[in-house]
Structure 1
Amino acid sequence: MKRSTKNPSKIFHQVLADAEKKLAMAANVAGSFQHRGIRGDERADALAQLLRQHLPKDFSIGKGEAIDYLDSRTGQLDLVIYDSATAAPLLTAGENLLLPAEALYAVIEVKSVLTQDELDACALAASKVRSLKPYKHKFSPTPTKGEAPNDCYRCPYIVFAFASNLSADNWAQKEFDRVRKSLSVVQGDLSLFDRVIVLDKGLIRPQISAARIRDEGSGIFLDFYIHLMNFLMKEKRRRPPIDMQAYVSTGKWIYLN
């Protein structure tokens, strides 16, 4: 069954095109700050606020770390999407969360301007996310063909940048080349990055060595949104209930007469 249509919804496209414009406007406002860290925080918050308006109610979005039952940690992540319907964060401190790996559904690393150094940092972070063991098994890579098996659990790592320091000329190939360079440093395969999105240029799917150049008519946010929502709905059905017993050691029962 073909999933796309020859007659797309004009209203649906317009809503998401407007959302992309709002995101771009928020990024421009953030540019008024001199401190790079503040600019980055403001742009990440703008994306978070936009996603909160469109995420299904079972999901929440925040920033912080994820941890598994072996105490392996990811380090700080810009945006984490988690299942708040079945698990609360293990810890909430100020603006940051500590999540059990089983509740983690997606990671979005937000960058004002994508550079080689930023991609190198993302590759290291993505390798830490992939090494977590939810349900005592590592997260699986995104399948390139067909559906993922029911006993495989995924956590896409998405790099979302507002701009790139590369020129528009042959941008996709140049960006892909340095994505491969970053991933090779951590000895990771191309599936560590689910998507690399540059809002004003396009997106790359490293695992299938493919790119989509930004279309002025619909922008690139539409593709990002549809992919994310489809994944969340499918993954929600696939995951079993979270057993927090895996994180604790209980005392021995004494049987009474």
Structure 2
Amino acid sequence: MSNNVNMKELFLGMQQEMLYKLNTIRKHVTHPGTKGNATELNWIDWLRTYLPNRYCVDQAFIVDYTGNRSDQIDLVIYDNQYSPFVFCQDGVKYIPAESVYAIFEVKQALNKANLEYAATKAESVRALQRTSVSIVHAGGTYPPRPLFEIVAGLITTSSDWNQPFEKPFGEAIGVLKPEQKLNIGCVLNSGSFIMKPDGTIETSSGEEALIFFFIKLFTQLQNLGTVPAMDIDLYSRALESI
């Protein structure tokens, strides 16, 4: 008896399960806000399950030490080891910009308006001020980490374009400003995409949308390494006694 595991079949099964859940939400939940929240929670739960424990996943606002705040972000992948300060008020989380690895907008369908909306969300996060300080360790001190570009993307269940990654998609994504760049995205029933360093787009087949998205996302997270250590003294200036 073979002990081999067919990883492709496992991911295809996960994709079909996700599609069933999300299509059921679309069919039976009529209130747009409730539908959107339910879809976001499904993706948050899925990524929490399959990403390593070092990555936290939540819906949140992103803040910086100057008091500026991003738009609300549907899905944030963040670290709480080197910048552990996450504010939570009435169930709403506020995460320091230093903690953030990646952000995603979650929508029902891929189209020009939703691409532009996700790009605006990305810009609102990348505009925030991030700090980076030295890290003391047993053998000495690591210098401050250079700041990396926060990954941004769009996740949808379907596409309003018959061919999701053809000319209309290319035109819409091609006019985004650098700070609005969408690095990666998933259209669960049609395929996923990633923007390569040279600016070209790599896409997957429809049946491999989820495995492609997960592997490419995880690779990007690995390449970022560790988030910078935040300068808590700068955040503390909001307190009159410090």
TM bucket, shorter chain: 0.7 to 0.9
The match for 1:175 is 169
For residue 111 of structure 1, what is the amino acid of its counterpart?
A: K
1:45-65, Cα deviation, whole Å (9 max, x unpaired)? 111111111121122111111
CA distance in structure 1 between the aligned counterparts of 2:220 and 2:201, rounded to whole angstroms: 19
- What secondary structure is seen at the aligned counterpart in 1 of 2:211? helix
CA distance in structure 1 between the aligned counterparts of 2:222 and 2:56, rounded to whole angstroms: 14
Where in structure 2 are there 5+ consecutive unaligned residues? 134-144
For residue 235 of structure 1, what is the amino acid of its counterpart?
A: L
The match for 1:91 is 87
The answer to whether structure 1 residue 230 and structure 2 residue 212 are counterparts is: no
- What secondary structure is seen at the aligned counterpart in 1 of 2:225? helix
More displaced 10-residue stretch of structure 1: 10-19 or 67-76: 10-19
CA RMSD of aligned residues (A): 2.7
> For the Cα contact (< 8 Å) 2:62–2:97, is it kept in 1?
yes
- What secondary structure is seen at the aligned counterpart in 2 of 1:53? helix
The match for 2:101 is 105
> For the Cα contact (< 8 Å) 2:59–2:93, is it kept in 1?
yes
- What secondary structure is seen at the aligned counterpart in 2 of 1:99? strand
For residue 165 of structure 1, what is the amino acid of its counterpart?
A: D
CA distance in structure 2 between the aligned counterparts of 1:65 and 1:125, rounded to whole angstroms: 11
4+ runs deviating over 4 angstroms: 250-253
Partner of residue 214 from structure 1, selected from 172, 187, 205? 205
User: Identity of counterpart residues, as a percentage?
Assistant: 21
Structure with greater contact order relative to length (CA < 8 Å, sep ≥ 6): 2
The answer to whether structure 1 residue 196 and structure 2 residue 185 are counterparts is: yes
CA distance in structure 2 between the aligned counterparts of 1:190 and 1:252, rounded to whole angstroms: 36
**TM-score of the superposition, structure 2-length normalised?**
0.81
CA distance in structure 1 between the aligned counterparts of 2:15 and 2:90, rounded to whole angstroms: 29
CA distance in structure 2 between the aligned counterparts of 1:251 and 1:103, rounded to whole angstroms: 25
Where in structure 1 are there 5+ consecutive unaligned residues? 1-8, 138-149
The match for 2:152 is 157
